Amino acid sequence: MNREEYEEQKCVVKYLELRRAKFTAIPNSTYTQSWGQKSMNKAMGVRAGLPDLFIIIKKQPFFIEMKKNKNGVLSEEQEIWCDKINECNGIAAYVCNGFEEAKKVIDKYL
């Protein structure tokens, strides 16, 4: 995650907290140089590409993948995850370019 995405996601987290939504970040981008930790993460099921945030509002679960405001690009793994999630009943994955797009998605559920 680049710095711009980080700053945008922080704004989304603050907004979710203000709205008292139930959510968690998916720590797939947690960086470590430790091959031992990388191996443990993989063995425990950590997989690349799962969207950044899992949110439940009014019994409706959904994911948001944050991208920077302009020129944000999904990785192949992210695209596959979003497609697979969106094939499921009752859950959706959104790709949001910045806070304003994410806020619109969240407000739709509020």
Q: For 32-56, how does the pLDDT look when each residue is reduced to its tens digit (9 = 90+)?
A: 788 888 788 788 888 889 999 999 9
**How far apart (Å, rounded) are the C-alpha atoms in residues 110 and 105?**
9
pLDDT at 19: 97
Residues 6+ apart with CB under 8 A from 87: none
Whether the predicted pLDDT of 28 surpasses 70: yes
Q: Residue 97 belongs to a domain with what CATH number?
A: 3.40.1350.10
Residues 6+ apart with CB under 8 A from 33: none
Report the number of distinct structural domains present in the chain.
1
Q: What is the pTM of this model?
A: 0.90
Q: For 62-71, how does the pLDDT look when each residue is reduced to its tens digit (9 = 90+)?
A: 999 999 888 8
Q: Which residue has the tokens 């959104």?
A: 94
pLDDT at 27: 77
What residues make up the domain containing 95?
3-109
